Amino acid sequence: MNQRPLLLTQGDPAGIGPELSLRAWLERDRAALPPFAVLGDPDHLARVAAMFGWSVPIAPVAPEQIRSAFSDALPVVPLSVAVSAEPGRPDPAHAPSVLESIDRAVRLVRAGSAAAVVTNPIAKHVLYDAGFKHPGHTEYLAALAAEGGAETCHPVMMLWSEQLAVVPVTVHISLSEVPSALTTDLIVLTGRIVARELRDRFGIDRPRLALAGLNPHAGENGAMGTEDARIIVPAVDILRAEGIDAAGPLPADTMFHARARGRYDAALAMYHDQALIPIKTIAFDEAVNVTLGLPFVRTSPDHGTAFDIAGKGIARPDSLMAALRLAARLGRA
């Protein structure tokens, strides 16, 4: 039986999301992309395509028509509001269409009409100006999952590529807040979710986790900080007692070279940049953001809205195409 299609959200319509969506469809055969539809304004996408001179037929469709339309046109599930965005000009007035696209994608996937949600980038500061109350994209998806009847979930951000998968235990907080936000319970919860999803969605029978130390040299036996011994070591012990293959805390400066990466399936870093610097160095154009811990599959490209280059036709669709392929793979699981 054919797999259900994917749903690609609009993202901020003034960013690079619309042109990436169009380019992904243009490269669908070369990149071996699964059928997908954009939840957006068909007229807006047609205007963007015309601006670049791209021959992209746009087909407004219902969800059940996505697969049959995909080979000949870019399927678009229309929103209830028109989109009049100009590339590179973010505006809080676009917030209703941004949120409607996400809302409908989640509802349709949870209803079984699609296999997964792939999200184009949003600009949180633009949504904040429109009254958005959630810390970010991931937290909003978790709230939508809860509205749909899911038990309280703890979303975990993983950046994945064929060469490296990393998970920041603490995410979008200042570096000064990390030591107080980092707890043994948080590390254990994150490790459990990562191990479970690597097994259930990625098909890894016995996932291997490597936990980075917080301090240089993982604390150097307390000479460079006590958090590693007080917080991370007990978390590793708990995970191991539960049968999870966990190692650490390990000095972060020696965790990411090629030989070290062969010893684990995912690295748990203690803060945002400790995780994202290595993967964006190793796989800048191919890395995918995967949200673990949700009751549905969600992936996204590992970059932002890039308002500075929107409308110039130079944005690369590699990460979005990788996100589509990975979403299809995880959706099959």
Contact at 8 Å (CB) between 265 and 165?
Answer: yes
* DSSP-assigned states of every residue in 48-104: HHHHHT----EEE--GGGHHHHHTTSEEEEE-SS-----TT---GGGHHHHHHHHHH
Distance, in Å, from the CA atom of 197 to the CA atom of 204, rounded to the nearest integer, reads 9
308 in helix, strand or coil? Answer: coil
Please indicate if the annotation marks 138 as binding a ligand.
yes
Task: List C-alpha distances in Å: 182 to 26, 78, 87, 122, 148.
Answer: 44, 42, 39, 27, 30
User: Is 110 annotated for ligand binding?
Assistant: no
**Is 124 among the annotated ligand-binding positions?**
no
CA end-to-end span of the chain: 14
Does the annotation flag 299 for ligand binding? Answer: no
Contact present, 290 and 161 (Cβ < 8 Å): no
What residues are designated binding site for substrate? Answer: 137-138, 280, 289, 298
What residues are designated binding site? Answer: 137-138, 172, 217, 272, 280, 289, 298
What residues are designated binding site for a divalent metal cation? Answer: 172, 217, 272
